[in-house]
Structure 1
Amino acid sequence: MLVFVIGIGLLYALPNLYGEDPAIQITGVRGGAASNATLGQVEDALKQQNIEIKSAALEENGSLMVRFDSTDVQLRAREVLAESLGDKFVIALNLAPATPVWLQAIGAEPMKLGLDLRGGVHFLMEVDMETAMSKLQEQTQDSIESELHAQGIPYTEVVKSSNFGVEARFPDSNARSKAVDYLTPRHRDLVLTMGDNNSFTTSMTAERLSEAREYAVQQNVNILRNRVNQLGVAEPVVQRQGADRIVVELPGIQDTARAKEILGATATLEFRLVNTSIDAASVLRGRDRSKTEVKYRRDGSPVALYKKVVLTGDHITDSTSSADEYGRPQVNISLDSAGGNIMSNFTKDSIGKNMATLFVEYKDSGKKDANGRSILEKQEEVINVATIQSRLGNSFRITGIDSPAEARQLSLLLRAGALIAPIQIVEERTIGPSMGQQNITQGLEACFWGLMVSVIFMLLVYRFFGLMASAALVVNVILIVGTMSLLPGATLSMPGIAGIVLTVGMAVDANVLINERIKEELKNGRSVQQAIHEGYKGAFSSILDANLTTLITAAILYAVGTGSIKGFAITLSIGVLTSMFTAIVGTRAIVNLVYGGKRVTKLSI
């Protein structure tokens, strides 16, 4: 058993010796996949510039990974490929593990390193409060229109006003009075101010505005955390900074291009009714502009849609991508109870009518405002137009999507949640591997010298038994590295290295207890075999109690800690368990091998 466990630990620790290759990862924009044609284009472009490739291969996720021998060649290649491929692909610098294929085949991968060791990406994002407040203003406008219509109170129009308010105009003062009497008790977060020409203006209270801003930031933090989880990043940091900013740190991220695209995207869906009574050209010429607007499909064909939104992506609770009965990509949507009721009530009265699915996304326009911040541009696209054939409920599907990769990305964005307001990256910092390498070197030196001091102490004090304890220490470190490499969610950071150094000392503690107990039994006149047996048996309870309390502490640290604190708790827990195994089982196996079944009169202890 001991040989088997050490062999497995050594096998899964091996990938950490091979290092990483400087690489370029090429990903299609908005879920598009790289193909063999892309691979050929990349190889031709680099060959023309005499840039040598170490290897180039298509990944399972539809991205193209090109490896190089050095970072200088990697940087030159990025410039060439950015010019050659244009804006249809996202090109990102990466470090790709150089693990041999035979190790990859058994699932052996190097440890995931934290931001302080491997490097990674640091984003500082800012929530667009203007858009968040505009959304709230639109909700207020729709709510007032719906309530006045439901109560049969005549009104001329309900329009937006300054400071995120809404102005309602009426044909006479009597209608206005009825509206004020009805709306005032139902909208306590709105202040109604009488205006000229039988109108009133609503404005949100200071408390409501403050609450809305707080909600926008907090909800975006939660949604970004969900999106990071969808990316599969271990030990990420997503936290609020100041009034309207969010910090996102992605240590050990393998696909920075995809991370930036997913985190920065503000994507949602809008379901709207198609106005079949008028053509798009008439709307563009100015007809019926108050209720209808024109949106476009990907192929550029126009669709006339009613401005009133039936349902937004805020009600989506789950979404998955799959293929329909004809093998075409689709996205399956699940709604919450409120969204299901809205969709059910709307579709029961709209059977036979056309409903469009509008994909809405905010992207960086490449322009800057007066303060130097990026100006976000709203991009809308009609994904599909379908005839409502029956009453819809909490679940339905969206078709008309170009590729399975795009369906996967759309479902990911919708599943992770639609951002309450657009966010823009105001600062992006890539922490290079050189700084991380310095931390790794210092951490390894600390481990090495801690190990050496422990080994020298054990050899001087306990001689042969000290040698066994030293061998157990080395095996302990191998098992920790192997286990950390094997666990999918474990990430090693500087505090994690501190946890390893700490467990080296704790592993020695167990052997000190065993050895001292054996010496005590020998002094009491026991035979060598009895002393060994009683030494391990008597020390076991003390070792178990000491390590159990440490495991409880590590569990509490993991439960209440964040980021690097969790990393420390993980390595500490793994180290405690492996040190107990090597100190008790490992050294006992060697003792039995050397002294078992023999007449021994003296121990080297």
Structure 2
Amino acid sequence: MKKKRAIRNFILIGIVALIGLVLTIFSFDIPFTYYTYNGFAKGIQLGLDLKGGVMAVYDCEKSSESEGSLDDQIDATISRLTNLITADYPEATIIKQGNSQIRIEVPDVDNPDEVLDLIGEPAKLEFKKEESDTAEAVLTGKDIKSAEYQYDSSSNQHGVSITFTTAGATKFYNLTSELATSQSPLYIYLGGELFSSPTVKEVISGGKTFISGGMNTQAEAEAYATKILSGTYSVNLSLSEKNVITATLGEDALTLSIIAGLIGLVLIFAFMFIIYKNLGLIANLSLIFYTIILMFLLSVLPFVQLTLPGVAGIILGLGMAVDGNIVIFERIKDECKAGKKIPASVKSGFKRASVAVLDSNITTIIAAIVLAWLGTGAIRGFAYTLLISMVVSMFTTLVVTRGFINIALDINCTNYKAYGLTKGVDLNKTATTEVIEVKEDTNKEEVKEVKNV
């Protein structure tokens, strides 16, 4: 009964694996709908070195309104740009180039205007009481901490939530106190031109305000917020260069990487089967599930963009998954050589090898977390894929592989050769036998001595 159930379970597992591979690799039209399904692998966002993207270089000019040296102002601007751009493009790289330039690289973007619109056309931001480009500014970009889209459900309006710095909050409170008495407009200038003039209806305290009116959609409100943020940079930026970059390894780079990966996977499958027989087949089935789960997570997690360093992280995770299985299988072999039966050897082998597998994987996961926390760009991409790969690797090695072996033991738990194992001799029984033989030899010697006498 157990054997039939185990065979039925393996057939079901094979069907699930086949469906998973189809959903991972292939694209197809859904019958009776207008929807086309794209496989998990095709849904993964690609980085600059695999798919190309957009590159922009800005010249930086010291702002008279910002404190500190030009280097300090550039660092502060890079920090703001990083927070702004990586929210939508996690693989973006924003670095200092030379002494007075900022270089921005955003992968997987065909239209440079998408990125430039996100950054905004950098311009001086000023809040004024009078409608005049020569009037004195009460607040400037340095007084704003953040500006982001917000929807006010009570008034059913799209708008922008602005948060001021501590000093800016005080200035804004004083300004609105003066303008609210007559419900006068507040004039917002960008680059010397009037950008908006919202009416101040009440005194605003707390360091935050909500601007609405004239924004009918979320896209319009987000564009408004971007315009405000473009005036908060610590330096004056001017676009020096913009380019669409093709894949740095050529159009066939990704295809060649996939072919190399498949060849490596086939060689691993062959090695595992030759050395470990049925245990190797079980490990190969587990690696198929590893691949399916990994591709799914890489396609659905929004912060993942695949670059060549990211491919290295996947390969490293695959290697750790294979290594984990080998460590466990070798331990099972040792237990069998010690004279234990196959089920007992499997149980003991997993128990004793799991500690080593967990130690090696957890230390790698800690390293990946540190890289993701402190790294940027391609380094962070490597860290993300490595972290995901290691988690999936631990799951498939310690849970999936063990479950498959337990099912296999219900089919056959006595054929050592089928699992690539060697039946050993129970050391305890051997030791007992040797003691008995020694006693018999001693008795024989005593009898001989009596006869001699």
> TM-score normalised by the shorter chain: which range applies?
0.7 to 0.9
Q: Secondary structure at the match of 1:401?
A: coil
Does the Cα contact within 8 Å between 1:12 and 1:483 map onto a contact in 2?
no
Counterpart of 1:121 (choices 30, 51, 54) is: 54
**Cα displacement (A) at 1:472:** 2.0
Counterpart of 2:346 (choices 512, 521, 532) is: 532
| More strand by percentage | 1
**Cα displacement (A) at 1:247:** 0.8
Whichever residue aligns with residue 263 of structure 1, its letter is I
Map 1:125-524; keep pairs closer than 5 Å. 125-129=58-62, 132-133=63-64, 211-230=68-87, 232-253=88-109, 256-267=112-123, 269-274=125-130, 307-319=135-147, 320-322=149-151, 329-349=158-178, 351-352=181-182, 354-361=184-191, 380-384=193-197, 386=199, 390-393=202-205, 394-401=207-214, 403-404=216-217, 405-414=219-228, 418-433=232-247, 435=249, 437-524=251-338
**Cα displacement (A) at 1:493:** 0.9
Whichever residue aligns with residue 327 of structure 2, its letter is L
Q: Which runs of 5+ in 1 are unaligned?
A: 20-99, 137-207, 275-302, 362-377
In 2, distance between residues paired with 1:569 and 1:321? 32
In 2, distance between residues paired with 1:342 and 1:317? 13
In 1, distance between residues paired with 2:17 and 2:111? 29
**Cα displacement (A) at 1:501:** 1.9
In 1, distance between residues paired with 2:271 and 2:134? 81
Are 1:575 and 2:406 matched, yes or no?
A: no
Does the Cα contact within 8 Å between 1:126 and 1:246 map onto a contact in 2?
yes
In 2, distance between residues paired with 1:122 and 1:424? 14
In 1, distance between residues paired with 2:408 and 2:154? 68
Q: Secondary structure at the match of 1:424?
A: strand
Cα deviation, 1:504-523, whole Å, max 9, x if unaligned, reads 22222222222222222222
TM-score of the pair, normalised by structure 1: 0.59
Whichever residue aligns with residue 258 of structure 1, its letter is E
Cα deviation, 1:359-385, whole Å, max 9, x if unaligned, reads 314xxxxxxxxxxxxxxxx5x125226
Map 1:42-121; keep pairs closer than 5 Å. 101=35, 103=37, 110-121=43-54
Change (3 A) 1:593 1:358: same
In 1, distance between residues paired with 2:17 and 2:164? 46
In 2, distance between residues paired with 1:5 and 1:359? 65
In 1, distance between residues paired with 2:135 and 2:22? 59
Does the Cα contact within 8 Å between 2:143 and 2:165 map onto a contact in 1?
yes
Which region of structure 1 is more displaced relative to structure 2, 477-486 or 442-451? 442-451
**Cα displacement (A) at 1:325:** 7.0
**Cα displacement (A) at 1:337:** 2.6
Does the Cα contact within 8 Å between 1:484 and 1:490 map onto a contact in 2?
yes
In 1, distance between residues paired with 2:24 and 2:401? 27
Cα deviation, 1:473-507, whole Å, max 9, x if unaligned, reads 23222222111112111121111111222222222
Q: Secondary structure at the match of 1:474?
A: helix
Which region of structure 1 is more displaced relative to structure 2, 3-12 or 535-544? 3-12
Does the Cα contact within 8 Å between 1:507 and 1:579 map onto a contact in 2?
yes
Change (3 A) 1:358 1:469: same
**Cα displacement (A) at 1:245:** 0.3
Q: Secondary structure at the match of 1:248?
A: strand
Change (3 A) 1:418 1:15: farther
Counterpart of 1:594 (choices 391, 395, 408) is: 408
Q: Which runs of 5+ in 2 are unaligned?
A: 1-8, 29-33, 421-453
**Cα displacement (A) at 1:536:** 2.1
| More helix by percentage | 2
**Cα displacement (A) at 1:533:** 2.1
Aligned to 1:196: none
RMSD: 3.6
